[in-house]
Amino acid sequence: MEHARHTHRTRHARQGTAVLAAALIAAGAGCSAPEDGTHRAVPHATGAPAPSADAGRRGFTLVASGDVLPHASIIKQAKTDASGDGYDFAPMLSAVKPVISKADLAICHMETVYGAGGHYTGYPTFKSPPEVAKGLSDTGYDACSTASNHALDDGAAGIDRTLDAMDRVGIRHTGSARTAAEGRSPAWLRAGGAKVADLAYTYDTNGLPMPKGRPWAVNMIDRQRIVHDARAARKAGADVVVLSLNWGTEWQDEPDADQLRLGDELTASRTGGRPDIDLILGTHAHVPQAYEKVNGTWVVYGMGDQIAGDMFNDDGAQDARGNEGTIGRFTFAPPERPGGRWEVRKAEFIPQWFNLGSSRVINVNQSIHDGVGLTDVRDRISRAVLSRGAAEDGLTMGR
């Protein structure tokens, strides 16, 4: 059986009070944004009109989700779903496509690299079919973070294949690179009237060294570098800076001490009184972790897994939490004056669950609304997400 188990850093230093908010179900969704030349808008419309003169004043909705982790069982299912013609990952995500495709900007986390010639593997050294990228694009994703502890599972060739495949389907990417220039650049995107820079970093590459001659192949977590890169993106015109971090302790519901410390330091960083980072999106722990507003900025410590096979925890037991996750949905409003901050006016989490029986991602709240009993899954995810008091700062559960 396939599983994921990697050792990370120290245990957490503090734990918030668990809060369960029942019936906080909001059905908000963002509006489509037209093409404006920097990047395609979501949903993937054709023939979109040119932006109007007041395009800079339009807000936008951003969604983000957790680890895409294709174990051998997932690869087998994608082959079945393709009916003998390669691999098709879109059916697995069909239930959350309405949420993803309706947002102005959608960001995923590609935990693994892509293989070639049918040589695809699951745990412990992942090489996924390149068709994963098409499945993500078909679902509505605009960009993926690719900095992870598995980013070097197939060396430089794995990175090259992964980013090439994403380029072919129009998905922007950040966190790993084919060239030094690419390694220094964020993923540039447009959403509503905002120019968005997405940056990504990982805590480790499972001990694998950087490829020879490519010390920039994967972005590593370093507070000073992250702040420098965020400020450079702002100087280059970013209205909103989004940071994707592969961090935390696997199988730990609570954010660990390093996450809490780094999250506090990064959200406290300011230039001219304006925060350098506008949103932090966490992955890697394989379980849903808390959302928290820190120094006025939303931090998602861990979104959990979006796609994964049978997951076994550090004790060797199959753990249902490894197939649970959230989609974060954040509605940004333009600043009231030029040069001001784009503020998150609405923050939501959408519980999701990967059904191992059907090999499908389930929108938990939508399923409950449709009469399918998943209240225990919803409540377990909610306890983790709200455990650091996010409901008091306005976080609600969406559908």
Please give the sequence-ordered ranges of beta strands (E in DSSP) within 69-220, or none if there are none: 105-110, 143-145, 172-174, 187-191, 194-202
% of the chain with per-residue pLDDT over 70 = 86
The mean per-residue pLDDT over the stretch 318-328 comes to: 97
**Domains in the chain, CATH or no CATH each:** 25-39+60-398 (3.60.21)
Average confidence score pLDDT of the chain: 88
Please give the sequence-ordered ranges of beta strands (E in DSSP) within 256-323, or none if there are none: 270-271, 274-275, 279-283, 291-294, 297-300, 305-307
Determine the pLDDT at residue 51: 38
Residue 74, token pair as written in the block? 């997932």
Alpha carbon of 359 to those of 72, 321, 362, 373: distances in Å? 12, 16, 9, 18
pLDDT tens, residue by residue, 174-210: 999 999 999 999 999 999 999 999 999 999 999 999 9
Q: What does pTM read for this prediction?
A: 0.87
pLDDT tens, residue by residue, 231-290: 999 999 999 999 999 999 999 999 999 999 999 999 999 999 999 999 999 999 999 999
Determine the pLDDT at residue 368: 86
Which has more confidence, 233 or 336? Answer: 233
pLDDT tens, residue by residue, 124-181: 999 999 999 999 999 999 999 999 999 999 999 999 999 999 999 999 999 999 999 9
Q: Determine if the peptide bond prior to 124 is cis (ω within 30°).
A: yes
> Which 8-state DSSP code applies to residue 237?
T
- Residue at 286: amino acid letter: H
pLDDT tens, residue by residue, 306-320: 999 999 999 999 999
